[in-house]
Each structure stands twice: as C-alpha cells, then as structure tokens.
Amino acid sequence: MKLSVVIPAWNDPEGLRRLLQQIADMAVFSQVIVVDDASDPACPPESLGIDLENYPVALDYLRLAENRGAGYARNQGLARATGDHVIFFDSDDLFTEEFPHLISRLQSREFDFCIFKHVDSRIRDEGGYGMLPGDEQRWQNAQAKGSLGLLAPIHAGVLCTVAAYPWNKIYRTGFLRDNDIHCTEISIHNDIELHWMGFLRAETILYSDLQCCEHFVAAGERRLTNRSGAERFEVLQALAKIQDEFANHPQLLPYLGPFVSFYTGLFGWINEQLESELQAPFHQAVQMFYSEHLNAPLYSLACLDNPVLGARINNILKGNPL
C-alpha cells in the first residue's frame, strides 16, 4: 500500500510541525501533501524546522493565494495524491501508536475505505480514553469488533451515523476519483459530503476498532468545532446534495433513514451552538430544507421504522424547538 496523507493547514504552525515530525517517525506514508490555506504567515515546512533534504517521505507543499476553507484545501490535496490510498488529516490532531498496526493489517487487502476508532481529547480530559459516548454506542450497535473486519451492509447502515469526520478513514484514491467524491467547498461542515457519499458509493467497507488517532478539541478557541456564527447555515448546502441522491438512486434507500436521523440530530446540535439571534433564522432554514428536499414518499420511508424521528420532524415543521 502506498499511502498519501493530505493535511490542510491554517495558522497552526506548531501543530503542523508536530504532525510532520510524527509522520516522519512512523514510516508508513509514501507522500505528505500540506495545503497551506493562506496562513499568515505562510507555513512552508522548512520554516517549521523540517529538514526537507533528509525528510523520509515525499513532501509536497501547496500554498493557496486566498483562504478557501478546509474542504477546498482537501480537494486540492486529493488532486495531487499519488498514493493508491489516501487519508485526510488535520494539522492539530495526532496519530496513535496503533495506526501503523492498522496499516500493516491492510496490506494486500482490497477495499474502498476503512473506518477506524479514535480518541477524543474531551474524553481524555475526563480521565478516560476513547470516543464520545454516542459514537462508541454506534460502534457497538454496528457490531464492529476486531482489529480488522468487513462491514456488512446492514451494519454499515448503523456505523454511517457516527460523527462525519474526515480523518477516521483510509480511502482508496481511485474510489474517490471514480465516484467524484470530495469535500463540499464551504467554510464549515465540509466533511459531511465526503463521509456520506463514501458510504453511499462504497462496495467494500472495512472497519477496525483500533484507536488510530487522537482528535483534539480546545474549548473557547475559534476552531471549526466551536463556531457559532451564520457559517453554520452552510451545512444545508452539503446535506441537500446528499439528500437529493435518494430520489435518483433507489438502491440507496437503506441509508435514507439513517441519513435523515443523522441530520435531524445535527440540526439540534447546531442550534445549541448558534448565537441566540441566529436560532430563529436557522429554524426557518431547516423547515425550508425539509419542505424542499424531503418529499412525502421519502419522508414516509425514512420514518417507517422510526416513528420518533417522524414525530420530531413534524414538530420542527410546526415550529417547535429543534
């Protein structure tokens, strides 16, 4: 396996330096692509103390002329990937010691993507080690146990509802390109399209319960995780593209219920993050989204086995809280 790693970076020189040093020590990558999303100042690897002449991996640095967001940066990195497999990784996260073990198990395996467990810094801060409880429960419900296994379609319909992160999956590069799967080029929630279209298009999905990376969330900082402004509304753009797939591709209908449940829950979470004056406009935008993209037949199918979901959507349409 030749594995490329795409790293969008914006004003995080210390995190990028730390990650590039870790990648050099791991000896599992064939290519590193850093996409500098118009950082101020620029963050070429040599400015971070990286010795390019002795760096053990091919390292490509691309600086964008203007800030376009992580989705655009990831897409630019994907276009330059030379590895037969690729992982998207954030500059402020880190791999764990289990990641090389997963790569070893994946050698000579054929798959469209492999999803793995991760560690959330919020759980570590509380004295634990692992994912948020909701994601952990979804892994258990999907019966995804073992260092490497084949995810059955019925269980893929469960595991697809985990938080839509870009860095907890290793993709076959040709799978993404052949199916025109990429990130939505919006400022936030750009990874939802990548996550869901991967599940909708994949024929072979592997899973691993090895905890292969740690995601760091710093409360109070102006990170995407903590944004509370109108940019949150952009999620509707990404969701609309995926939702409309179900009307055109009946074979995808097994994923319809999980997807509608996913974004209905996401709407509630976003509403809690928003500044108070934006909550009413967001509620109105959500109502319009349901009206325009979830027609009566699709609504009936999505809620057939989940009357609680149907009741929640009805309440939202009636003006009740998200």
pLDDT bin (cut points 50, 70, 90) of residue 224 is low
Which of 181, 205, 179 is closest to 194 using CA atoms?
Answer: 181
Helical ranges in 179-306 per DSSP H:
191-201, 235-248, 256-273, 276-293, 296-303
208: closest CA among 96, 82, 91?
96
Beta pairing class for 94-95 and 31-36: unpaired
Question: How confident is the model over 146-187, as pLDDT tens digits?
Answer: 999 999 999 999 999 998 999 999 999 999 999 999 999 998
Average pLDDT over residues 17-26: 97
Does pLDDT of 226 surpass 70? no
Q: What is the 8-class DSSP label of residue 271?
A: H
Whether 105 contacts 148, CB under 8 Å? yes
CB 173 within 8 A of CB 75: no
Residues 2 and 30: beta-carbon distance below 8 Å: yes
Q: What is the pLDDT of residues 231-268, one digit of tens each?
A: 999 999 999 999 999 998 999 999 999 999 999 999 99
pLDDT of residue 218: 77
pLDDT of 220: 54
| 3-221 is a CATH 3.40.718.10 domain | no
The answer for residues whose C-beta is within 8 angstroms of residue 6's C-beta and 6 or more apart is: 33, 35, 74, 77, 78, 81, 86, 87, 88, 89
Rounded Cα distance between 153 and 175, Å, is: 18
* Rounded to 5°, angle at Cα 166 from 259 and 42: 140
Domain boundaries, the chain: 3-221, 227-317
CB 38 within 8 A of CB 12: no
Q: How far is the C-alpha of 6 from the C-alpha of 76, rounded, in Å?
A: 9
Sorting pLDDT into bands at 50, 70 and 90, what band is 223?
low
Q: What is the pTM of this model?
A: 0.95
pLDDT tier, 225 (very low <50, low <70, confident <90, very high otherwise): low
